[in-house]
Structure 1
């Protein structure tokens, strides 16, 4: 199973559409919020199931603030992260994820990619395809793949 994880596209969808063409075929897209009204394009362009939530800039969206769902055998919690102070680090977010009993928390907001794998929790932030903030400021996303034994592997990718 191949999952494209993106965030913080902020209505700048050219890079999202470019990445879709580069990585297809995929089985799922996960968007961590701040689509700013581009939900239809994100879902229709994917050609596969899409999990998407609101971010702090999605003022008029009817999307949920958070979601829990499964990817393979993994329980996943999807949140934008701004309500968990992720700009100060992801410790509070990981504690909440562990308390919820999930295996993976996927979040955005910081515009900085991160794959943080610990014994009790995996935290994934794909960064931003529109306005990256990490050193080098390259648009980023994460590819999650489940191998033939169902184990998740994550790669931070850049445009």
Structure 2
């Protein structure tokens, strides 16, 4: 199973479309928020199931603030992260994830890609496809692959 994880596209979707074309086919797309009215485009372009949540800039969206769902054997919590002070680091969101009993927390907001494995918890932030803030400032996304045994592998990718 191949999953595309993106965030913080901020209504500028050219790079999202490029990434879809580059990595296709995918079995699922996950958007960690700050979609800014492009929900329909994100979903229709994917050609597969899509999970999305609102970000701090999604003022008029009907999307949920957070979601929990399963990917294979993994319980996933999806949130934008701004309500968990992720701009100051991911300790708060990881603490909340452990209290929720999830295996993977996916979040955005910082515009910096992270795959942080700590014990039985993985925290994933795909960065931003539109306004990257990490050193080098390359648009980023994460691919999550489930191997034949159902084990998750995460790769940070850049445009």
Residue 39 (1) aligns with residue 27 (2): no
Structure 1 partner of 2:83: 83
Write out the 4+ residue segments of structure 1 that deviate beyond 2 Å after TM superposition.
none
TM-score (norm 1): 0.99
Structure 2 distance, partners of 1:148, 1:111, is 31
Q: What runs of 5+ residues in structure 2 fail to find an aligned partner? A: none
Task: State TM-score, norm by structure 2.
Answer: 0.99
CA contact (8 A) 1:98 1:120 kept: no
The aligned residue for residue 92 of structure 2 is: 92
Alignment correspondent of 2:101 = 101
The CA RMSD over aligned residues, in Å, is: 0.4
Maintained 8 Å contact 1:54/1:61? yes
Aligned partners of 1:15, 1:120: CA distance in 2, in Å? 32
- 2:2 is the alignment partner of 1:12: no
Q: Which runs of 5+ in 1 are unaligned?
A: none
Q: Which residue of 1 aligns with 2:26?
A: 26
Instruction: State how many pairs are aligned.
Output: 159
Identify which range, 126-135 or 113-122, moves more after superposition. 113-122
C-alpha distance after superposition, 1:125-151 (max 9, x if no partner): 000000000000000000000000000
